[in-house]
Amino acid sequence: MKSFLFNLLLLCFSTSIFAQDTENQRIKTKPEKVTLYISGAQVDSKGNGSLKTGTQTLVFDNLSNYVDPNSIQVKADADITIMAVNFQLNYLEPQNNPEFKRMEDTLRNAKKEIARVTLSKNTFQEELTMLTANRSIGGANTGVSVSELEKMANFIRARIGDVSLKKLEAEEKETKLREHITQLENQMNQMRNRGNQPSGEIQVTVASASTGSANFELSYFVSNCGWQPMYDVRVKD
């Protein structure tokens, strides 16, 4: 009985932690200023998020994995209390990357669209085949007047021209969709290949007295960049 109660409490505790983690708001930031040094750079970025009353954790994701945790500074224009700031690496990319998921949705829609376009193209081709295979009018022993023959010829010529144009448009759209699909698949493969390189995340736990939107400013130091001076000397002799 004690073992059952212990396992039940452990399950509830784990479920509570998981629920809190899934509720963490992920915020994208955009670099506004970068100060480059010989070794490293100071990055100042901004982002916008929404706050709710009480304690919550905000996750500023898709950052460099070379962020110095001791250099992180967080500011907000809202009435909040910053309780904790932590830096961690996210090894779950690209599956949890919103950009990757957006490309997945775009790819799925593009494949549905190309299926419809291909169906239309094949339908136009079937109609062209039918028009060219059934040009004979009248029976074997029935004559056709010149006016009827002219009307039928004009109809077939106009219809073949219209269907051929629609078929050509479908083929062009199909080609563009295939190129778009190839580009999306290449981008997604590149993101998958980078999956073994984690991205950085800054988790900020805050306490807010009210709900509303807030603007955040992040400042941190990145160590995997720098610059070197190069000189070009020009002389007469």
Give tens-digit pLDDT for 65-96.
899 999 999 999 988 999 999 999 887 655 55
Provide the 8-state DSSP code for 103: H
Could you tell me the CA-to-CA distances from 11 to 1, 4, 204 in Å, in that order?
Answer: 15, 11, 26
Query: Could you tell me if 74 and 59 are in contact, meaning their C-beta atoms sit under 8 angstroms apart?
Result: no
Query: Could you tell me if 210 and 79 are in contact, meaning their C-beta atoms sit under 8 angstroms apart?
Result: yes
* Mean pLDDT on 155-160: 78
pLDDT of residue 22: 43
The residue type at 179: E
Could you report the per-residue pLDDT of 38-67, keeping only the tens digit for each? 889 999 999 999 899 999 999 998 898 899
| The CATH number fitting domain 23-91+200-226, selected from 2.30.110, 2.60.40, 1.10.3210, 1.10.390 | 2.60.40
Which has the higher per-residue pLDDT, 147 or 84? 84
* Mean pLDDT on 183-211: 83
pLDDT of residue 35: 93
How is 3-55 classified by DSSP, letter by letter?
HHHHHHHHHHHHHHHHHHHHTPEEE-EEEEEEEE-SEEEEEEEEEEEEE-SEE
What span, in angstroms and rounded, lies between the C-alpha atoms of 18 and 6?
18
The 54-63 sheet, strands edge to edge: 25-27, 54-63, 199-208, 80-90
| For residue 135, pLDDT beyond 80 | no
